[in-house]
Chain A
Amino acid sequence: MWNSRTDYLYVAPAIFVMLIVIGYPIYYTIELSFFNTPASLSLADKTFNGLDNYVTILTSPIFWKVTWQTVVWTTLSTFFAFVLGLGAALALNREFAGRGFLRGLLLIPWVVSAVAASYVWKWLYHSDFGVIGALMVQFGLTDHPINFIDNTTTSLYALIVVNVWKEFSFAMIMLMAGLQTVPDSLLRAAQVDGASAWQRFWHVTFPHLAGVSTVTVLLLAVQNFNSFIIPWVMTSGGPAGSSDIWITHIYQIAFGRQRWGVGAAYAVILFIVMMVLGYFYVRALTKGDESRAGA
């Protein structure tokens, strides 16, 4: 539109802040990943050790275990959050009394702090006095309360439930907005053409949701991959690393064991993974941008 030099003044503050707080750390993380830095984090004493940090990571069996758990965590959380969100969006996509109230209620988990959510669920899962265990006994599902989070086989899945609880409503509002873009006339036309409810969903509604679904799934995946609070506050990745995922693992290595170099190398590998995901993310977003510009 305009092209004068003052245009940059509008974005300068934002760019300046981001350069300091984003650009510099990225550079620094890369640098640290090639050094051995003492636990005290006294930078003067760091020594160059080439790719040692990377070798340490890639040859460690824990790396592969944590990677697998991260994949399970990200995939299942994303899948169930999306499915529940889609179901809720479809169920709420009809005018009825109290719809706004219901939407608000369903969104509360997404608004409250993950720390609060973690404590509440920790209490729900409590091995002796947890309401979930008590309810299961009440309904005759088990004889005595199951300890979900202090158990190496169930801890990861117990946390996934919490995570889905926390974020399914995000998928819900995104998809609700997407549903509003489905033209009524198309749905009516399909009805006139004799399409069943399911066929209308599959042939009319769903294709319209494709764009927003892609963005939602990508956002959820990125968010889940980057999760920290729920696993950290609830189990700290335990017991015996059974609920450890990448981010908690990196935190443990860097701040728990002060192995800064290894932590940084982990972060760099994560960068690379995120760049690949980011490529698809940006592509999904720009695709929408172009179609809007064309409209």
Chain B
Amino acid sequence: MAQVVLKDVVKNYGGVYAVNHVSLTVEDGEFVALVGPSGCGKTTTLNLVAGLIPMSGGTITIGDRDVTDLDPKDRDIAMVFQNYALYPQKSVYRNLAFPLQMRKMDKAEIDRRVQAAAKTLDITHLLERKPRELSGGQQQRVALGRALVREPRAFLMDEPLSNLDAKLRVQMRSEIKRFHQDLGATIIYVTHDQLEAVTMSDKMAVMNGGFLQQYDSPANVFANPVNMFVASFVGSPAMSLVPLTAVSKGTDVVLASPEGWEMPLSDANGRKALSAKSNKVVLGGRHSTIQVHKAQVPGSVPGKVYTVEPTGDVTFAQVFVSGAVVNVSVAPSFQLRPDEPVFLEFDQNRMHLFDAETEMALTL
């Protein structure tokens, strides 16, 4: 296993930048999720690491080797594809053996490794079958097995679970995680599903529009999103964002709504709000940090219930606040009706403030 370093990586098609100066380091044995909406450049980034498409600029090193100009076959990596890409004319055994044959390994060693991989993934009984005779989950295992036999320096996975049904996906998620822990493998994992990224990875790289937005542990990304995009992309339900105006009132700072209400800010939050380029500020809050009241309490802001979604152990609701939708959660015993007026209290220590102009998080 090895460290993978991307330095200033660029892929452009004329004036269109699919990957725009991305730099990141995947430590040896780390599980990194590349996550973002479709078209954000995550799959392109993975294909650049694999060497499947030529780079427009930058360098990639795997271990101590600069692989920027190497063919995929010489990079010593394995890849699992979204559609599994199993060779349809070959049996499962031959699929697993193929990467070893390409490396001119002798027959006995190939057999030993194929059997070992098959045993690990519990597909020994499928070895003589053709891929089309397998279920989606079985194909997924074979695809993993083909990556596994070679003992590569890094594993690349391109949305490997997105073709599976919901139940199987959860099961395979934990299996891939186990696979990572057991092997201590370096894994770069592409997904559009932020929940997958949060639950599986050591670090997540959030991408949008070809740019790397934030690269940190899921906990840090969740707690301290660097900008509005990351804030609204990570977490479910998404972080709610309310555009407001920061106004100084003597020593205090308040957020003013066009509707007329004002929300006082703590000292620290007040200084953050004033550091914005203009006085336009976006208030961000996750559902777990917002308290819902039926009557006005100090510091709370007025809103109107839009929808109510009971899920059993928690009830989610959407509330209109100053024209924006705010996701909140309440205990199932707390009765809410659509169109009911409510008051929301944002936790001053866990709220987020963003500069409306730059969309960046405001920090001290």
Interface flag for B54 (CB, 8 Å): yes
Q: Which residue of A lies closest to B54 (CB)?
A: A4
The distance from the CB of A7 to the nearest CB of chain B, in whole angstroms, is: 12
Q: Which residue of B lies closest to A4 (CB)?
A: B54
Q: Classify the interface of chain A: helix, strand, loop or mixed.
A: loop
Interface flag for A196 (CB, 8 Å): no
Which residues on the A side are within 8 Å of B54 (C-beta)?
2-4
Which residues on the A side are within 8 Å of B134 (C-beta)?
none
How many contacts between A and B, using CB within 8 angstroms? Answer: 5
A4 to B71, CA, bound (A): 13
Q: Which residue of A lies closest to B53 (CB)?
A: A2
Which residues on the A side are within 8 Å of B53 (C-beta)?
1-2
A2 to B54, CA, bound (A): 7
The distance from the CB of B241 to the nearest CB of chain A, in whole angstroms, is: 34
Which residues on the B side are within 8 Å of A1 (C-beta)?
53
Q: Classify the interface of chain B: helix, strand, loop or mixed.
A: loop
Q: Which of A65-82 contact B (CB under 8 A)?
A: none
Q: Which of A144-164 contact B (CB under 8 A)?
A: none
* Chain A residue total in the interface (Cβ 8 A): 4
The distance from the CB of A137 to the nearest CB of chain B, in whole angstroms, is: 61
The distance from the CB of A4 to the nearest CB of chain B, in whole angstroms, is: 7
A1 to B53, CA, bound (A): 8
| Mask of A1-14 contacts with B, CB within 8 angstroms, 1/0 | 11110000000000
- How many of chain B's residues touch chain A, expressed as a range? under 10
A2 to B13, CA, bound (A): 11
Q: Which of B25-81 contact A (CB under 8 A)?
A: 53-54
A254 to B54, CA, bound (A): 54
A1 to B54, CA, bound (A): 10
The distance from the CB of A6 to the nearest CB of chain B, in whole angstroms, is: 11
The distance from the CB of B246 to the nearest CB of chain A, in whole angstroms, is: 46
A231 to B53, CA, bound (A): 55
A58 to B340, CA, bound (A): 85
Which residues on the B side are within 8 Å of A2 (C-beta)?
53-54
The distance from the CB of A3 to the nearest CB of chain B, in whole angstroms, is: 7
Which residues on the B side are within 8 Å of A3 (C-beta)?
54
A4 to B56, CA, bound (A): 12
Q: Which residue of A lies closest to B13 (CB)?
A: A3
The distance from the CB of B321 to the nearest CB of chain A, in whole angstroms, is: 40
The distance from the CB of A2 to the nearest CB of chain B, in whole angstroms, is: 7
The distance from the CB of B267 to the nearest CB of chain A, in whole angstroms, is: 56
The distance from the CB of B31 to the nearest CB of chain A, in whole angstroms, is: 29
A24 to B100, CA, bound (A): 50
Q: Which residue of B lies closest to A1 (CB)?
A: B53
Q: Which of A28-77 contact B (CB under 8 A)?
A: none
The distance from the CB of A212 to the nearest CB of chain B, in whole angstroms, is: 28
A1 to B11, CA, bound (A): 13
A3 to B54, CA, bound (A): 8
Q: Which residue of B lies closest to A3 (CB)?
A: B54
The distance from the CB of A1 to the nearest CB of chain B, in whole angstroms, is: 8
| Mask of A80-91 contacts with B, CB within 8 angstroms, 1/0 | 000000000000
A98 to B54, CA, bound (A): 54
The distance from the CB of B12 to the nearest CB of chain A, in whole angstroms, is: 12
A3 to B53, CA, bound (A): 8
A1 to B52, CA, bound (A): 9
The distance from the CB of B83 to the nearest CB of chain A, in whole angstroms, is: 16
The distance from the CB of A163 to the nearest CB of chain B, in whole angstroms, is: 42
The distance from the CB of A8 to the nearest CB of chain B, in whole angstroms, is: 16
A3 to B18, CA, bound (A): 15
The distance from the CB of B138 to the nearest CB of chain A, in whole angstroms, is: 28
The distance from the CB of A249 to the nearest CB of chain B, in whole angstroms, is: 50
A4 to B53, CA, bound (A): 10
The distance from the CB of A116 to the nearest CB of chain B, in whole angstroms, is: 39
The distance from the CB of A55 to the nearest CB of chain B, in whole angstroms, is: 50
The distance from the CB of B355 to the nearest CB of chain A, in whole angstroms, is: 40
The distance from the CB of B50 to the nearest CB of chain A, in whole angstroms, is: 13
The distance from the CB of B43 to the nearest CB of chain A, in whole angstroms, is: 13
The distance from the CB of B13 to the nearest CB of chain A, in whole angstroms, is: 9
A4 to B52, CA, bound (A): 12
A2 to B53, CA, bound (A): 6
A164 to B53, CA, bound (A): 51
The distance from the CB of B124 to the nearest CB of chain A, in whole angstroms, is: 37
The distance from the CB of B81 to the nearest CB of chain A, in whole angstroms, is: 15
Contact sample, A vs B, 5 pairs, CB 8 Å cutoff:
A1-B53, A2-B53, A2-B54, A3-B54, A4-B54
Which 5 A-B pairs have CB atoms at the shortest separation, nearest pair first?
Answer: A4-B54, A2-B53, A3-B54, A2-B54, A1-B53
Using a CB–CB cutoff of 8 Å, the interface residues on chain A facing chain B are 1-4
Using a CB–CB cutoff of 8 Å, the interface residues on chain B facing chain A are 53-54
